[in-house]
Amino acid sequence: MRLILLGPPGAGKGTQAEILKEKLGIPHISTGDMLRQVLKEDSPLSKKVKRFVERGELVPDEIILEIMKQRLSSADTEKGFILDGFPRTIKQAQGLEQLLKKMNKQIDLVLYFATSVEKIIERLSGRLVCSRCGMNYHLKNMPPKEEGVCDKCGGELSQREDDQEETVRKRIDVYLKQTAELIEFYKSKGILRTLDANRDAQEVYKELIRLFEKEGFNLKSNDFHKISERAESHA
């Protein structure tokens, strides 16, 4: 299965992507993770990316697509993948479509996580991020075992400046303007499905399972309840 997850910051895409990654056995691919991996390499592509990052500029679409081509050529994507945070623009969507066409592949579904501004602010204002490994936590929904300390690596947890209310509102406004065309692009292709992401993660996950089965993907499994419980704990 090849999926694209769309939705504003705080919509819960990452939570669902990690659960689906485990259930489906396909990689969760985010633009941020790809860029960080490329920056660790000593390659011509890495040098291209570093020039933009060091100047504080956005990496151009053509380079992002070059990185995506490299990532989607990996063996672990043969059975499918989950794209999170990509594409962000019509140009990227068209580039991805052409890239996949050359690989004799296509996107199966685009899932749009529709979320209210109030719910996003509630979620992001309580979000904590590990300074060492990037793991996300939430003061209310997913607190760490030890206050201020990452369960995974022991790193320090803190709130990002861009998770403060005023900044969140601006980010949402930018996102909605940027992706309006993108949503219409995939709707016109008949592969866009909208989810009510204002609900708890467990409820969103259950809707995803129903949606996949309705689309004919037959995702029934004995570990449904176990994974549903994990979704609730990571809301």
| Residue 36 a catalytic site member | no
Query: Which entry of 69, 119, 171, 187 is annotated as an active-site residue?
Result: 171
Query: Which entry of 21, 48, 69, 88 is annotated as an active-site residue?
Result: 88
| Residue 132 a catalytic site member | no
> Which SS3 state, helix, strand or coil, does residue 5 take?
strand
C-beta separation of 137 from 127 below 8 A: yes
Query: Which entry of 13, 23, 71, 123 is annotated as an active-site residue?
Result: 13
Query: Which entry of 152, 160, 189, 210 is annotated as an active-site residue?
Result: 160
| Residue 230 a catalytic site member | no
Length of the chain: 235
Query: Which entry of 2, 71, 127, 230 is annotated as an active-site residue?
Result: 127
56: number of Cβ within 10 Å:
6
Preceding amide of 87 cis, omega within 30: yes
| Residue 2 a catalytic site member | no
How far does Cα 108 stand from its chain's mean position? 16
Residue labelled with tokens 């990996």? 74
Residue labelled with tokens 């011509």? 44
Rounded to the nearest 5 percent, the helix, strand and coil shares of the chain are 50, 15, 35
Catalytic residues: 13, 88, 127, 160, 171
